[in-house]
Amino acid sequence: MDSLESELDRARDLSVADLADAIAEIGFECTRCGACCTAEDDDPHTATVFPDEVRELQAATDYDFRDVARPMPYGLTETDDGGVEGETFEWALQTDSCGDCSFYAEDDDGVGACTVHEDRPLVCQTYPFSVALAGTSQPMGEAVDEAGLVRAHECEGLGRDISRDDAEAMAATLKERAIRELEEAIGVRDEYEPANPRSGAVVVHDSEGAKRPDGSAYER
């Protein structure tokens, strides 16, 4: 397997024009269905957010850290009292009591919208696409279509015409996200030290070190 540094070099060398060609070949137009922002069956919405993106959302909303993000549930185990414990390696956008993204809202006609659209994380800006490089994430499960290095994930907007300008804008953001994901992965790897949290505690390892669920540093 290529090293994360090699994959990062590949991400930095990606051609925006080639990515745009792939996006145009697949086709996409957002229908504002809200499926990518809401819970699926019994699975809460999970969208990866970088530490600095959490702070940007805090600044945009004046929310507390916990109102913006939560520990990614993967890797955590449920306790007897219904809580969770353990160590995880990503932050996810916070969800409401229904498991939907806490920044998602519907108008009176049932049309969905992001309440922080201008400040939404890269994973939201680029959905339903991802880049097929090791160390990058695949949102919402396995790809349902692909062209070149671009993977497309389940979305009712796939297959629709997209303008060249929109395809290139999406491609540039998709490249940025791939680079950021790999930089984050390298940072997590370099900063990681087993925290061995006590029973009932949760620790999130990100590129800035080990943290508590409220975003503060975890003292071992």
Question: Could you tell me which residues are beta bridge partners of residue 77?
Answer: 85
Q: 217 lies in a domain?
A: no
* Under 8 Å between Cβ of 93 and 72: no
Q: 118 lies in a domain?
A: yes
Instruction: Kindly indicate the confidence band of residue 1, based on its pLDDT and cuts at 50, 70 and 90.
Output: low
176-205 burial code (b ≥16 CB/10 A, e <16): bbbbbbbbbbbbbeeeeeebebeeebbbbb
- As for how many domains the chain has, the answer is 1
DSSP 141-176: SS-SEEETTEEE-S-TTBTS---HHHHHHHHHHHHH
Q: 48 lies in a domain?
A: yes
Helix axes 164-191, 4-12, angle to 10 degrees: 160
For residue range 113-146, list pLDDT tens digits in order.
999 999 999 999 999 999 999 999 888 778 999 9
Q: 219 lies in a domain?
A: no
User: Quick check: helix, strand or coil at residue 9?
Assistant: helix
How many whole angstroms separate alpha carbon 8 and alpha carbon 27? Answer: 26
Collect all residues with Cβ–Cβ distance below 8 Å to 117 and sequence separation of at least 6: none
Which H helix or E strand runs over 56?
helix 51-61
For the chain, the farthest-separated pair of C-alpha atoms sits apart, in whole angstroms, at 53
How many whole angstroms separate alpha carbon 12 and alpha carbon 172? Answer: 11
Q: 39 lies in a domain?
A: yes
Q: 216 lies in a domain?
A: no
Closest Cα to residue 124, out of 110, 104, 147?
104
For residue range 17-56, list pLDDT tens digits in order.
999 999 999 999 999 889 999 998 778 899 999 999 999 9
Domain that holds residue 10: 4-211
For residue range 46-88, list pLDDT tens digits in order.
999 999 999 999 999 999 999 999 999 998 999 988 889 999 9
Q: 155 lies in a domain?
A: yes
Q: 64 lies in a domain?
A: yes
Helices (H) and strands (E) in the chain, counts: 6, 12
